Structure 1
Amino acid sequence: MTPDLIILADTIHTMDDPPLAGPEDSQHVQAVAISGGVIAAVGTRQDAGQWQEADTQVVDLGSATLTPGLVDGHIHPVFGLDLTIGADLSSASSLDEVLALLQAEGRHDDGWLRGWGLNPNAFGTVPLHRSVLDRVTGDQPAFIRLFDGHSALANSRALELAGIHGRLEFDQASEVVCDADGVPTGLLLEAAAMELVQRHIPQESFAQRKARLGELLRDFARSGLTGGHIMDHSEESADLFHALEAEGELPLRLRAAPWCMPGSDEESWKELARSIGTGGRRWSIEAIKLFVDGTVDNGTAWLYEPDVRGESTAPFWPRPEEYSAAVRYFASRGIPTATHAIGDAGVDHVLTALESLRHEVPADVLRRTVHRIEHIETVPDDLVARFQGSGVVASMQPTHCTHYSLADHTDNWSTRLGPERADRAWRCRDLRDAGVTLAIGSDWPIAPFEPLPIMADARLRRRSGKPDQHPIAPSQALTARQALEGYTSHAAKAAGLWDISGSITVGKRADFTAFELDPLTTSPDEFAASSVLGTFVDGQIQFMLERHA
């Protein structure tokens, strides 16, 4: 063995499964050797002295902690470029704050006023209506995205430019919300409705988008990420990634999943299937993303019983059997699927569709193909039990709970569901205790992407750094190891990559994250506020924090 690189650290958590015991446990592993982008040896500092050759680079991280590279299980970097233009409203907690931020933003060069991250809780008892925007926009069109990414509020001028004058029919469960007289309120639910306005907004140049995406990916690396599961894809995404790779390596690995939407047919499914495996050096298309519902907050989730407003009873696919047929098409070809399902009826339908595969897809194909459900925000005991032994992966976002719901159920999500269903919030621990693989992520830009606060929130069940907040369903708190597994070993299993990544094991990819503090022994609040010291992908430094003695 002639290693290219040796990394030394006082604490190295290998995240092997099951955890290593004896002389090679994390108390003794303090050295990793890398050759050709692959882990060549794991051992002690004394071992490292024997591995080192004249040309070997040595990085001594001192008292730091090294783990497998962190991977966000659910992100939207390219799609997020559209969702993060204009005023950032995510911090606004009142209507006055929302309007002040929009007034400060002013008119863009393209003539539009835009904002994103709007939490409907900020409106209080005031309805989400175009007239509220009209107060501050005058004659300029305005398009404000809500935090869930599934809805937007347009002002009167924007509706006029888009030619929206009443209700419309869509192939998917989208809606131009109208009042009792059939007049649009400005609230647009789901992609097809939002696109009616968005197509009239001037687009950024390719160069602008490439620059923004490049900086975002560097921010991901600086936060500790070495990879991400992208839950969307488009031709523009491919063009942007190719353009960035023409200038150098991406700072993290990206695994994309293009959307399969209602109204599609077998010919379009075939086209999606052909894209699997295509990509570049550090990015590729590896799965298909589907939706069976929308969100609780805007009344488009799929629940067994209506929410308190009589909403959230319709599936995203008007004919759910067509969703099941699409899943069967991809699964029979060994193509992984990831389905957005938030409400109990939605999760039930996805589980039923996946359970039926065992009778229709050859066993060897099923064994090597990972299918997963994204979000899973409210489910009863029997659905948790159905995950057990099914092989279906859960992919969840702890900060959706801690940022947008409250322990006293006064938030919009909880109020719509009522106390019984709100008490079933984000059952991360119950799924883990049932033996389910649980990938953790941010769903950026729906919530911040920094992984350290997300892991802390998963343990606290409240926002890190806010000890006065009451935890939300505290019995669902993850252990420190479970939270780290969600970004390492379980993230690898959720992508079907456990044989080549997710632990510091000889023969696996040399992707690592280095921490100032130990994620397994540091208190959650302290860990959330600490620093990431560096990231490595393929045994190459992607980011290293400058430290002063």
Structure 2
Amino acid sequence: MTSAATIYRNASVFTGDADLAPRESVAVREGRVIAVGDLDAVRLAAGAGAEEVDLGGAFVSPGLIEGHSHMLMLGESLDKVQLRDAGSIEEVQRRLAAARAAAPDAPMVLGTSWLFDIFPEGERPTAAALDAAVADVPVLLDANDLHSVWANSAALTAMGIDRDTPDPVGGEIVRDANGDATGFLLETAAMKYAWDFLADAATDEDRDRFLAKAFAAYLETGVTGATEMSFGPADLAAYRRMLDRDGRLPFPVNAHWLLTATGDPEADVAQIDEIVRARDELAAAHGDAWLRIVGVKFIMDGVIDACTAAMRAPYANGDLPGPIWDRASALPVAVAADAAGLQLALHAIGDEASAIALDAVQECIRVNGPRTDRRPRVEHLESVADDTIARMAALDVTASMQPVHCDPAILDNWQAVLGDERAHTGFPWHKFREAGVRLALGTDAPTAPHHAPNNLFIALTAKSVLDRSREPYQPQRVFTPADALEALTLGAAAATLREDEVGRIASGARANLVVWDANPLSDAPEALLDTAAVLTLVDGAPAYDARS
């Protein structure tokens, strides 16, 4: 027997399409949207017996699709010492000492989101600075961008790092003049030593808790879908335990498996076979309604703050680092992944890295032929050349960007290390729009706060959420509200070829909807700050309800 529909009326319903005017009502039944439009037409489609919910003029949108996330890391970060607003080394030390005093039996102290701005010019993180606060247990602090780790002496010992420990491909254990590790791990060194150490220390129960916390945090901020960007065996196991237990996830997730540059061409390509096996086994066991392994993730370069992003011209200090994946190593792996039907997601922050990323896309087209379902994407694009933007449009490559990464409060060091006109031409959203490049917006949590309304505020204003006294960064770049909302919903869904199912409010789509506390189409952008969802629906059922 078909269940009765529910009509949400007296609302401003944004459908996901920036070119369509808001509608006044939407009806859902059995997890799907059955109609959206004027109330009389929606009532006719819903039929007799429909329940009606008066939303009092509230703004409704498709549930947001987090365009770039690290779910387990987000959940874990919520338990760590928060350092994004720590304005000095001394403040970091105070917070770590307080955390140690509050949990004297804890085996380690973990923190997240410290900023490079706290170090005087020419100085870098050292173990000694952390030892002064906590010396008896390991201390591991993720940088705000998750591309560096700051460790104390006990952590270096626990990770087995000594004079003979080799630098991995694409990473560096920073050392002093004597060859001793200083406590600063860059790029793949942070991943190989710090992240692997923490992964070994975590239990399945820990990872299950991290995942549950991430889902809950996102639902509260209006997110009903996510794109995982650092997926691996431990993540897959945690998701499968949730699927085995509940038969579903709190919302659908599309995952990109994180590739490792090993320096061995055969080993690099062999990763693709392992990922294909994991993809096919997952689909056979659980279908594809909730979790799909859709692609692979290349970390082509590092980050500008640490001067590890691959640039065409040197940084202000003269550094000109190469990419983590150079052309010779990246192209064969990209072609193998593409041939297996895996989507390419290419982290490229520097202008040289994004050029290499497009070379990989072009090589896939040359070797494997044109395909309408390829949908490659480049992540971040903080400093990008105009010729690259034009190539992205020609190759139908999605620009996946994160407004929270250019909050003016975190750009001082970013601008200083570039030191020239590039400091004023970053994050060129307007150029992508003008070129017709598909845009998907997200937060890259936990490298930045995951709160969707604050992320939208930066997209609309180029102003700071963290320090509201700051002047906006290059405000000519900003989105219109409708364009930003489309990039957060339909655009992010289209980036993983899911636009028929999610990211839109249309007949037949999954009824993943959000009722908001503010209306970004009509209210001043400041009304969005620090708000949350009022009601989040997943497949028509409340997944978060602030009214109860």
Q: Is the TM-score greater than 0.5?
A: yes
Give the counterpart of 1:43 among 19, 33, 37: 37
Q: Map of 1:354-433 to 2, 5 A cutoff?
A: 354-363=361-370, 366-402=371-407, 405-406=410-411, 411-433=412-434
| Alpha-carbon spacing, 1:253–1:199, altered in 2? closer, same or farther (3 Å) | closer
For residues 510 and 183 of structure 2, the distance between their equivalents in structure 1, rounded to whole angstroms, comes to 49
CA displacement, residues 395-418 of structure 1 (integer Å, 9 cap, x when unaligned)? 011111115544xxxx22111111
Q: Which residue of 1 aligns with 2:487?
A: 486
8 Å CA contact 1:398–1:457 kept in 2: the answer is yes
User: Is the aligned partner of 1:10 residue 2:11?
Assistant: yes
8 Å CA contact 1:341–1:375 kept in 2: the answer is yes
8 Å CA contact 1:87–1:101 kept in 2: the answer is yes
Q: Which residue of 2 aligns with 1:118?
A: 114
Partner AA of 1:154 in structure 2: A
8 Å CA contact 1:223–1:451 kept in 2: the answer is yes
| Alpha-carbon spacing, 1:9–1:230, altered in 2? closer, same or farther (3 Å) | farther
For residues 208 and 497 of structure 1, the distance between their equivalents in structure 2, rounded to whole angstroms, comes to 31
User: Is the aligned partner of 1:97 residue 2:91?
Assistant: yes
| Alpha-carbon spacing, 1:208–1:182, altered in 2? closer, same or farther (3 Å) | closer
- Cα distance, 1:92 vs structure 2: 0.3
8 Å CA contact 2:135–2:152 kept in 1: the answer is no
Q: Which residue of 2 aligns with 1:88?
A: 82
- Cα distance, 1:168 vs structure 2: 4.4
8 Å CA contact 2:405–2:448 kept in 1: the answer is yes
Q: Which residue of 2 aligns with 1:275?
A: 278
Q: 3-state DSSP class of the match of 1:275?
A: helix
8 Å CA contact 1:230–1:254 kept in 2: the answer is yes
For residues 370 and 496 of structure 1, the distance between their equivalents in structure 2, rounded to whole angstroms, comes to 7
CA displacement, residues 70-127 of structure 1 (integer Å, 9 cap, x when unaligned)? 1110010113345555311111011221111111111663432221111121223443
- Cα distance, 1:9 vs structure 2: 3.6
Moved more, 417-426 or 74-83: 74-83
- Cα distance, 1:188 vs structure 2: 0.5
Q: 3-state DSSP class of the match of 2:110?
A: strand
Q: Which residue of 1 aligns with 2:339?
A: 332
For residues 216 and 10 of structure 1, the distance between their equivalents in structure 2, rounded to whole angstroms, comes to 29
For residues 402 and 139 of structure 2, the distance between their equivalents in structure 1, rounded to whole angstroms, comes to 30
Q: Which residue of 2 aligns with 1:130?
A: 127
| Alpha-carbon spacing, 1:11–1:152, altered in 2? closer, same or farther (3 Å) | same
Q: Which residue of 1 aligns with 2:348?
A: 341
Q: Which residue of 2 aligns with 1:251?
A: 250
Give the counterpart of 2:295 among 284, 287, 302: 287
- Cα distance, 1:466 vs structure 2: 5.0
For residues 196 and 227 of structure 2, the distance between their equivalents in structure 1, rounded to whole angstroms, comes to 27
For residues 404 and 131 of structure 1, the distance between their equivalents in structure 2, rounded to whole angstroms, comes to 27
| Alpha-carbon spacing, 1:194–1:339, altered in 2? closer, same or farther (3 Å) | closer
Q: Which residue of 1 aligns with 2:446?
A: 445
Q: Map of 1:303-314 to 2, 5 A cutoff?
A: 303-314=311-322
CA displacement, residues 325-384 of structure 1 (integer Å, 9 cap, x when unaligned)? 111112223321101000010001111221233322222xx2111100000011122222
**Which runs of 5 or more structure 2 residues have no equivalent in the other structure?**
none
8 Å CA contact 1:2–1:51 kept in 2: the answer is no
| Alpha-carbon spacing, 1:241–1:56, altered in 2? closer, same or farther (3 Å) | farther
Partner AA of 1:234 in structure 2: G
Partner AA of 1:117 in structure 2: S
User: Is the aligned partner of 1:512 residue 2:513?
Assistant: yes
For residues 3 and 495 of structure 1, the distance between their equivalents in structure 2, rounded to whole angstroms, comes to 32
For residues 205 and 193 of structure 2, the distance between their equivalents in structure 1, rounded to whole angstroms, comes to 25
- Cα distance, 1:10 vs structure 2: 2.2
8 Å CA contact 1:510–1:538 kept in 2: the answer is yes
Q: Which residue of 2 aligns with 1:190?
A: 187
Partner AA of 1:340 in structure 2: H
8 Å CA contact 1:70–1:226 kept in 2: the answer is yes
Q: Which residue of 1 aligns with 2:269?
A: 266
Scaled by the length of structure 2, the TM-score of the pair is 0.91
Q: Map of 1:13-32 to 2, 5 A cutoff?
A: 13-16=14-17, 19-20=19-20, 25-26=21-22, 29-32=23-26
For residues 53 and 291 of structure 2, the distance between their equivalents in structure 1, rounded to whole angstroms, comes to 27
- Cα distance, 1:531 vs structure 2: 3.9
Moved more, 440-449 or 510-519: 510-519
| Alpha-carbon spacing, 1:464–1:189, altered in 2? closer, same or farther (3 Å) | closer
Q: 3-state DSSP class of the match of 1:360?
A: helix
Moved more, 271-280 or 430-439: 271-280
For residues 140 and 369 of structure 1, the distance between their equivalents in structure 2, rounded to whole angstroms, comes to 48
CA displacement, residues 459-486 of structure 1 (integer Å, 9 cap, x when unaligned)? 1112148553111111211111121111
| Alpha-carbon spacing, 1:539–1:451, altered in 2? closer, same or farther (3 Å) | same
For residues 400 and 384 of structure 1, the distance between their equivalents in structure 2, rounded to whole angstroms, comes to 19
Q: Map of 1:495-510 to 2, 5 A cutoff?
A: 495-510=496-511
Q: 3-state DSSP class of the match of 1:388?
A: helix
For residues 356 and 83 of structure 1, the distance between their equivalents in structure 2, rounded to whole angstroms, comes to 37
Q: Which residue of 1 aligns with 2:141?
A: 144
Q: 3-state DSSP class of the match of 2:497?
A: coil
8 Å CA contact 2:76–2:210 kept in 1: the answer is no
Partner AA of 1:32 in structure 2: V
For residues 138 and 168 of structure 1, the distance between their equivalents in structure 2, rounded to whole angstroms, comes to 22
For residues 137 and 538 of structure 1, the distance between their equivalents in structure 2, rounded to whole angstroms, comes to 47
- Cα distance, 1:35 vs structure 2: 3.1
| Alpha-carbon spacing, 1:325–1:8, altered in 2? closer, same or farther (3 Å) | same
Moved more, 148-157 or 191-200: 191-200
For residues 249 and 318 of structure 2, the distance between their equivalents in structure 1, rounded to whole angstroms, comes to 46
8 Å CA contact 1:167–1:184 kept in 2: the answer is no
Q: 3-state DSSP class of the match of 2:514?
A: strand
| Alpha-carbon spacing, 1:417–1:288, altered in 2? closer, same or farther (3 Å) | same
For residues 523 and 109 of structure 2, the distance between their equivalents in structure 1, rounded to whole angstroms, comes to 43
**Which runs of 5 or more structure 1 residues have no equivalent in the other structure?**
none
Partner AA of 1:203 in structure 2: A
For residues 367 and 432 of structure 1, the distance between their equivalents in structure 2, rounded to whole angstroms, comes to 21
Partner AA of 2:25 in structure 1: A
RMSD of aligned C-alpha atoms? 2.3
Give the counterpart of 2:359 among 352, 356, 360: 352
Give the counterpart of 1:302 among 306, 310, 317: 310
Partner AA of 1:268 in structure 2: Q
